[in-house]
Amino acid sequence: MSDTEWYAQPVERVFETLKSSGDGLTTREAEVRIKKYGYNELKFKKTGVITRLLLQFHNPLIYVLLVAAFVTAYFQEYTDTAVIVGVVIANTIIGFILEGKAQSSIESLGMMMPHYCTVLRDGKKMSILAKELVPGDIVLLKSGDKVPADLRLFYAKNLFIDESALTGESIPVEKSTEPIQKPDLPPADQHCMAFSGTFVTQGSGKGIVVATGEQTELGKIAKIVMETREISTPLMREMAEFTKIIVITTLAVAALNFVLGIAFGYDFFYSLMASVALAVAAIPEGLPAVLTITLALGVTALAHKNALIKKLPSVETLGCTTVICTDKTGTLTKNQMTVVKIYSGGKYYSVTGVGYEPEGEFILDNTKIDPSQDGDLIEILRAGILCNDAGLTVDDGEYRITGDPTEVALVVSAMKAGIDRNYPRIDEIPFDSERQYMATLHKGDGRNILYVKGTPERILEMCKHQLINGRVKPVMYEEMLKVAHEMAKDALRVLGFAYKIVPEEKGRLTVEDLEDLTFLGFQGMIDPPREEAREAVEKCRRAGIRVVMVTGDHAQTARAIAKHLGICGEEDRVVTGEELSRMDDEELQEIVDDVRVYARVSPEHKFRIVRQLQKKGHVVAVTGDGVNDAPALKVADIGIAMGIMGTDVSKDASDMILADDNFASIVDAVEEGRHIFENIRKIILYTIPTNGGQALMMLLAVILAPFIPLFTLRLPLEPIQILWINLADAVFLALPLAMEPREKGLLEKAPRDPGEQIINRLFFRKVGLVAVVMAIAGFTVYYYFGAKALSNPGDELLLTQAQTAAFAAVIAVHIFYLFTARSITESALTFSPFSNKWILAGVAISAATLLMIVYVPSLQIPFRTTAIPPEWWIPIILLASSGFIVIEVEKFLIKRLGKS
């Protein structure tokens, strides 16, 4: 029954199918049906608190942190253990609070359904719990009601329903009762239906319940949201793969190291400690914490750009977005109806200024004019503000509106010309959908005036005359209709205006008075595009990001706005919801890479569009503000909800919230996302090569021990020293890379390939070069200063000094490498060392802590170091500088050869 096209059925057949009548169901029949159909409510599975909490640990970054915590605890470095565990707990709490809100999107959907409703049962009017509604019930609607189920209307008196949350339609929809004989209509075009969760803004109506609970349009959305899995971000997928490779490789090499140690005849404990040291050296314990902090810094930066991130990894996803599926109303446009064109007295006027601020100019033939000197223009503007129930007031510098947005636009256009409501209203005939006009009677100067506004056709029917250049002439009906149609082609909402002078004693207004009127002209209004949106769309084009408009608005309006913003051209195809309903997924996949505008779409259509784009390999960002957007927001790689106009459902289903509802803020966020990823890449390409160098030292120490007896006495580095290097390096040296200023031209490049692996040619080259440089520096220093210990086997001080020198050399290599790691491709000599003061601070702290560990007695014991002679620092620094020189030469050669 849920698949029946109720809007296409005559009312009599609907009653017959549902076995109901105008008096409603009997109480007994309702009880029978509730057992058959169930309660009118949305059911959803709720993840328990404990399960949600445990799921926060299901993260590859957290796995590495937990391994690091275990290692530090093993070596009784409980301070480091406490720090790492603290980071894990902080991550868990943040994830629990923010990501745990995802399931509340279904709860928000449930809250849209009213608690009570008015029905006819046993022929009597009564109020019942909305959850007890069943198909066949008769529901009574009035202004202010929330629709409790999907209804087929059979009575509608001036009935308007706000369906914006469900369909995206910004203006309340006028309802009727006549069936519509068109297949596959989206909900926005089903004018004889009222849908669950929408609001009655005007009039009254009656409808028969045709769907309840999960069978309603609202229920279908809830079902899609519940069945949609969370999308893993590119960074999370890469880090999961990267972590797996690092762990497997580390365990394999550590095991090989242990086997070689035993094979070479080393002591079991020596072989085990060497393998443990290698594992500690290879695993980047501090990297997960640094990446988390880097993403958190990105969240803060984006917040300053009006983009509020709910899930940390989503920050990076922005950087590889290839398609943005955007709403129209409020995102690309201002969601403020504005009069932009006026036809009066045979002339076309353009009106500047957008939104509700009454500031703008009137342009005639490309020349600015004074409206007060144009009688025809003044008359139509006066008609617009007087035949009007809307209001516009200023409160603390902010403009506040009351009433219908269309009428507000007319008030603003009149105020731009300095016209106010100086003619008191005496009487009125309110707007009625059947009459299609509104009329008001006003007290003028020694006479009374009636003004009428409404649809162009209806207003012209009432008119006998036309005002042209201050003179009254016969109305040119056909020509004026043609003008109205031409204005409508520009996606303008067009209203006609007329007036009539009546005697001063006239105090009552009747329908009979609305004859022989004088036609004043038309005012055309539109929800104007945001000024900055066109530039933002162009930025996306240059950045290799395709902008696709997916809207519930009419195709003609959608095309006009999209064309103005540069989203599509004159010849580009606009696909409607009706066409989408007739396409299967394979047909949609064939066109999805070419279509830039979709109009009159349903929630399911938007969901399908996103899924097919993802199947084509795109990283898709989706904007939305209504309940209808929730499925697409959740399935998108990054869902972006509107902070001002967005519903709770859309915000709960999203990954990011725009505080200003502005498309331009999305583009700013994309640029920031690319910047954040570049810094993340710098951190990874700094951290892993340095870890690789330490691991290579440990592995070579075992392999070369038969040839270099010094390595049989003691390893070049102690496990505790390696652990300190990794953690301190992450905090003092790697983390400042997260503060690197944005590089130029980020939006001039194509989006990053989401399939691109962290472990690639560049990665191996950096790891190889830095690992070799670090191993050579560490070995050379250790051997040079420790060789004397071979002739004095019992001299532990010499071995400790040599080990301390190697420890200092490794940290020094890290410091030198940091300066060149600030840019992956550009020479460090091309930018100022002071452009990132955090780098200088980190280097200073690293150098200071190194000196303290070497020379402060209380720190020498836990770190197993000792003081070294001052003159030793000269060869240490000279050898360590190779960490800078080698990579700078590598960059020069790669750039010269034109390779990556």
Are 162 and 201 a contacting pair, CB within 8 Å? yes
3-class secondary structure per residue, 25-86: ECHHHHHHHHHHHCCCCCCCCCCCHHHHHHHCCCCHHHHHHHHHHHHHHHCCCHHHHHHHHH
For residues 165 and 158, give the distance between their C-alpha atoms in angstroms, rounded to a whole number: 21
The dihedrals phi and psi of 181, each to the nearest 5 degrees, come to -90, 65
Query: Do you know the residue count of the chain?
Result: 900
Nearest to 551 by CA among 223, 51, 167: 167
Name the DSSP class of 676.
Answer: H
Q: Which amino acid is at 377?
A: L
With H, G, I as helix, E, B as strand and everything else as coil, classify residue 127: strand
Other beta carbons less than 10 A from residue 306's beta carbon: 18
Are 644 and 655 a contacting pair, CB within 8 Å? no
Q: What sign for the dihedral angle of Cα 647, 649, 650, 651?
A: positive
For residues 5 and 193, give the distance between their C-alpha atoms in angstroms, rounded to a whole number: 10
For the CA atoms of the chain, what is the radius of gyration? 36
List Cβ neighbours of 643 (8 Å cut-off, separation of 6 or more): 306, 308, 651, 657, 658, 659, 660, 661
Dig out the tokens for 366 from the structure: 């490309």
Q: Per DSSP, what are the bridge partners of residue 141?
A: 205
Within the chain, how many helices (H) and strands (E) appear? 32, 28
Alpha helices in 742-795 (DSSP H): 761-786
Dig out the tokens for 145 from the structure: 């009601």
Nearest to 685 by CA among 768, 747, 743: 768
The conformational region for residue 73 under phi > 0 = left, psi -120 to 50 = alpha, else beta, is alpha
Pairing, β 517-526 against β 574-576: unpaired
Element (H, E) at 564: helix 555-565
In degrees, rounded to 5, the angle at the alpha carbon of residue 272 between the alpha carbons of residues 269 and 276 is 135
List Cβ neighbours of 897 (8 Å cut-off, separation of 6 or more): none
List, in sequence order, every beta strand (DSSP E) within 290-424.
307-309, 323-326, 338-344, 347-351, 362-364, 367-369, 391-395, 398-402
Task: List, by residue number, the catalytic residues.
Answer: 327
Half-sphere exposure in the Cβ direction for 816 (13 Å, CA):
23
In degrees, rounded to 5, the angle at the alpha carbon of residue 219 between the alpha carbons of residues 216 and 222 is 160
